[in-house]
Chain A
């Protein structure tokens, strides 16, 4: 999520000052994403230039300057909400690459490699979970962010579990001729920056 749309989103609730925008942004994301003041103002200026926000003209530049959303800005935000993020091409995932290398590398215990990663992921998840446990009545935005992180890590653990099982099965079966469409896939993985 870009800062640009985050600010538009905050302004959609009503006119706000620059400093207020920064504080609210951090609060909403559970202080997971720190933001510096400079970033906020550069972005606001760009938005004003594009006619998506308007500043209150009578106020001077600075943290006390108020901004509000223009109808164009509202339209832009609504549009953005409904635009799906680009998930069509897989991200370059280091974990996947490491496991694939371990499969090919002579002498490497791929299960051990997988377990190292699994343990690391679980430890990470334990820390995230601990956050939930500590704050019984914690902020909704924060909860959503923590959940997202847990589910992302969980997905990786599951992939590791699946890979573990698949490799185990493959080892017990006779090796098949090298014919899987690896080159094509490789190209796609590399396609995304």
Chain B
């Protein structure tokens, strides 16, 4: 069973003359443990795809199924619960809450779900520890570097056994080293069985995914085949 399934998703903004078709009958599925990258130029609709997948926005038509549950049949509150329990977001600009420490930011989704503050904190600490940020737990976001902030937001996105990770340009403002670290973490989450979707225009980030979907003007135009083993690279005689 796929963790995320998008079935014939269309999204239209505006009406009449100013109508814009952001997405056109998109089909996409992501299995548990797999990392899918969505590539496309600006305005190709890739961010909209992500917000729809994450129940932040409703599609104009089509169905979103997360963990087997149809989003369109859920109330706003149930969707919120779905986000708390099953969906983790990582955004380009980290979006940590300024007034909360790292560990509080990470444990916030659990607390919002009704888990006691103590238990939530323990889970948050564990998630931070896994990403090597245990010593930063009581720092506020503005005391962290960009890379650290993004790592905290990844910890927040995966805390509490969430099964779907949605990342929108997760390494946006980071240098390539930090960007790579971020992708390694997302990959690490996938190894534990999390399904992840990364939206990006950066080929180097996308190449971390096992499947890359190309979006153009709101349509899926292409996707990569399952890549051959990397050993094949070493076979042909290289340029001297």
Contact = CB atoms under 8 A, between A and B. Distances in A.
A31 interface: yes
A190 interface: no
Interface residues of B, number: 32
19 contacts: A31-B234, A32-B238, A33-B238, A118-B222, A119-B212, A119-B222, A119-B223, A122-B39, A122-B212, A126-B210, A126-B227, A127-B227, A128-B233, A134-B230, A154-B202, A154-B204, A158-B203, A161-B201, A164-B41
B214 to A, nearest CB: 7
Interface in B154-179: none
Contacts of B230: 127-128, 130-131, 134
Contacts of A165: 41
B237 A34 contact: yes
B225 A153 contact: no
Interface in A17-66: 31-34
Interface string B207-240: 1111010101000011111011110111001101
Chain A binding surface, main DSSP class: helix
A77 interface: no
Contacts of A103: none
| Most chain A CB within a 10 A radius of its CB, from B39, B204, B222, B238 | B204
Interface in A132-172: 132-134, 150-151, 153-154, 157-158, 161, 164-165
B49 interface: no
Contacts, number: 76
Contacts of A157: 203
Interface of B: 39, 41, 180, 184, 187, 201-204, 206-210, 212, 214, 216, 221-225, 227-230, 232-234, 237-238, 240
A150 to B, nearest CB: 6
Interface of A: 2-3, 31-34, 111, 115, 118-119, 121-123, 125-134, 150-151, 153-154, 157-158, 161, 164-165
A167 to B, nearest CB: 12
Contact of B203 (A131, A133, A153, A164): A153
A93 B237 CA distance: 19
B207 A150 contact: yes
Contacts of B224: 119, 122-123, 126
A177 to B, nearest CB: 29
Given A34-B237, A115-B222, A133-B208, A127 B203 contact: no
Given A3-B240, A119-B214, 10 more contacts: A115-B222, A119-B224, A122-B207, A123-B225, A125-B207, A127-B228, A129-B208, A130-B227, A153-B203, A154-B202
